[in-house]
């Protein structure tokens, strides 16, 4: 059910982001880092298209994207993803 919700463009954006972030986290825990990266990166355009940055799932998605970039050795993008996710989270709780 999660893959269908995460990849269905007709699903509400919040559902897509939550599903993609959850799938990314699950795949990472299973050791499927490439799949985790795909799901994590797929959530970012949804967040940006719907201006969802202030919602808590957005910071989770950016954190997971940062983790997958760290796995790939891309330190510069890792840090920018982490910093952006942290900035979004602080903005949401301010």
Q: Report the C-alpha gap between 92 and 77 in whole angstroms.
A: 22
Where does residue 30 rank: exposed (0-12), middle (13-18), buried (19+ CB within 10 A)? exposed
Q: Which parts of the chain register pLDDT below 50? A: none
Query: What pLDDT is recorded for position 72?
Result: 83
User: The domain containing residue 60 runs over which residues?
Assistant: 2-93
Q: What is the pTM of this model?
A: 0.78
Query: What pLDDT is recorded for position 84?
Result: 84
Query: What pLDDT is recorded for position 85?
Result: 83
36: CATH = 1.25.40.10
Query: What pLDDT is recorded for position 26?
Result: 92
Helices marked H in 1-94 = 2-7, 13-29, 33-49, 56-71, 75-93
Count of structural domains, the chain: 1
């Amino acid at each position: 059910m999660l893959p269908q919700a995460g990849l269905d463009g007709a699903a509400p954006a919040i559902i897509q982001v939550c599903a993609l972030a959850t799938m990314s986290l699950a795949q990472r825990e299973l050791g499927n880092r490439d799949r985790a990266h795909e799901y994590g990166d797929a959530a970012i355009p949804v967040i940006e298209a719907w201006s969802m940055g202030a919602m808590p799932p957005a910071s989770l998605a950016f954190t997971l994207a940062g983790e997958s970039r760290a796995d790939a050795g891309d330190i510069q993008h890792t840090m920018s993803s982490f910093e952006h996710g942290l900035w979004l989270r602080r903005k949401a709780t301010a």
